[in-house]
Structure 1
């Protein structure tokens, strides 16, 4: 089970590092203009950067504490935080009628919940 948890942690960390890093690096206007981030129309520049920072910190929190053994409880806490991120993201996508995004939100939510449960319960 430990191997499965590490695989999921690595996958989630890569996804959130890429998504969060993109939000931190690219201007909101460029994201909106691409047509893939309509939700960003209703969020300030600082809000988009804050979401990106939460995702990057979550990605780091999924791996680093457990890997180093320094405050390993932060790994399942980071996973719970990413569950919350996906609940809020799904809510925004539903509000905007972007139902095509929901399967990704649900998949990321379930994977993060698996990590949280597995690390909290010691699987």
Structure 2
């Protein structure tokens, strides 16, 4: 069970790092060119960057607490928050068409 949780946390962390890094590094025009990222045209750049920072923090929250033995309860809390964030993103994408 522990191994499967580490794998799931690692995959979620990789997704969060890649999405967060893209939102921090790439311009709005480049982000909007990606499939499913057309929403970036209608929001301020600061909002996109903030989402990138939050995704990087989520990646850290999934891995670091258990890896460093600091408040390991934060890993499942972060995972639940990440799931809620993704549900919100799905709703936003469905509303935007």
**TM-score, normalising length from structure 1?**
0.73
Deviations 1:64-96 (A, max 9, x none): 101111111221121122112101110111012
In the alignment, the residues of structure 2 paired with residue 94 and residue 56 of structure 1 have an alpha-carbon distance, to the nearest angstrom, of 24
How far has the Cα of 1:29 moved from its partner?
2.5
- Note the alpha carbon deviations across 1:85-112, whole angstroms, 9 max, x for none: 1011101110122xxxxxxxxxxxxxxx
Q: What are structure 2's unaligned runs of at least 5 residues?
A: none
Moved runs in structure 1, 4+ residues, more than 2 A? none
1:96-107 to 2 correspondence within 5 Å?
A: 96-97=96-97
TM-score by length of 2: 0.91
Asked whether the equivalents of residues 39 and 92 of structure 1 are also in contact (C-alpha less than 8 Å), the reply is no
| Aligned residue number for residue 106 of structure 1 | none
Could you list the runs of 5+ residues in structure 1 that have no partner in the other structure?
Answer: 98-123
**Corresponding residue for residue 84 of structure 2:** 84
Aligned residues: 96
User: Is 1:12 aligned to 2:22, yes or no?
Assistant: no
Cα distance, 1:23 vs. partner? Answer: 0.5
Secondary structure of the equivalent of 2:79?
helix
Matched residues in 1 for 2:8 and 2:75: separation?
Answer: 12
